[in-house]
């Protein structure tokens, strides 16, 4: 019997994510078996597109992709509906997202928004996936993916610029940025590492980000 590839193992290990996502849409006009099959397409896309070096948990990356695939099916059938609870959570999440962008000048990470909302990373990802407009990219083969991916040239350029900027920060500043943006630590966890309060971390982070913007 041939050995399974790492890709196949990853898919099998995370198949419960598809069930968890599909259950959210059960009874809304598409049979559960069909929802599951559609969700599996999203899981496969997630496995193929996931980059462990980014420091994100696979489930946090995969949930929006799986839900996006399911939502596409609902849009195609004209049956997409959101519960009142999901709409209310979505309104709150979008409001907090806008507040974060206004304060920090960037999009919040899922973990950061989850901390503010008091939800898990997976639930926060699902809320955003259900309430944010989808940006589709057409592939050379004519298909569509619902996650934007930077080109290799853009990633190389961004990485070079970031490396040069980080070299101009103090050791403490670099460590804070590393914890917050490379290791995906929450402000609370970062505060524990530094032995300071979350408010102090927030203030330091704002100052560092402003410094980086000026350097750019």
- 115-147 burial, b if ≥16 CB within 10 A, otherwise e? bbbebebbbbbbbbbbbeeeeeeeeeeeeebbb
Dump pLDDT digits (tens) for 178-213: 888 777 788 888 999 999 998 898 888 888 888 877
pTM, two decimal places = 0.41
Contact call for residues 103 and 206 (beta carbons, < 8 A): yes
Domains, the chain, with CATH or none: 6-145 (no CATH), 152-215 (1.10.10.10)
User: Between vectors from CA 11 to CA 8 and to CA 64, what angle results, nearest 5°?
Assistant: 145
* Residues forming a β-bridge with 138: 144
The residue that leads in pLDDT, 135 or 107, is: 107
Contacts of 34 (CB under 8 A, 6+ apart): 73
Q: E strands of 96-145, at which residues?
A: 137-138, 144-145
State residue 2's pLDDT score: 54
- The residues facing 137 across adjacent strands are 145
In tens, the pLDDT along 121-145 reads 767 777 776 665 543 333 333 333 3
Closest CA to 10 of 61, 67, 72, 64: 61
Tell me: the pLDDT tens digits for 24-56? 888 777 888 888 988 898 899 888 888 877 766
């Amino acid at each position: 019997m041939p050995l399974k590839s790492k890709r196949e193992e990853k898919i099998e290990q995370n198949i419960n994510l598809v069930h968890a996502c599909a259950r959210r849409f059960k009874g809304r006009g598409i049979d559960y078996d069909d929802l599951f099959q559609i969700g599996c397409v999203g899981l496969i896309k997630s496995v193929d597109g996931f980059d462990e070096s980014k420091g994100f948990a696979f489930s946090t990356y995969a949930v929006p992709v799986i839900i996006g695939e399911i939502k596409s099916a609902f849009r195609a059938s004209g049956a997409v509906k959101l519960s009142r609870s999901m709409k209310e959570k979505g309104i709150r999440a979008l409001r907090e997202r806008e507040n974060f962008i206004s304060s920090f000048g960037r999009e919040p990470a899922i973990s950061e928004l989850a901390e503010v909302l008091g939800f898990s990373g997976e639930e926060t990802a699902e809320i955003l996936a259900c309430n944010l407009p989808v940006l589709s990219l057409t592939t050379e083969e004519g298909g569509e993916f619902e996650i934007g991916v930077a080109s290799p040239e853009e990633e190389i350029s961004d990485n070079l610029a970031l490396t040069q900027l980080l070299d101009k920060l103090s050791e403490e500043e670099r460590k804070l940025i590393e914890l917050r943006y490379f290791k995906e630590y929450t402000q609370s966890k970062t505060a524990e590492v530094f032995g300071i309060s979350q408010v102090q971390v927030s203030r330091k982070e704002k100052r560092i980000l402003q410094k980086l913007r000026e350097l750019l």
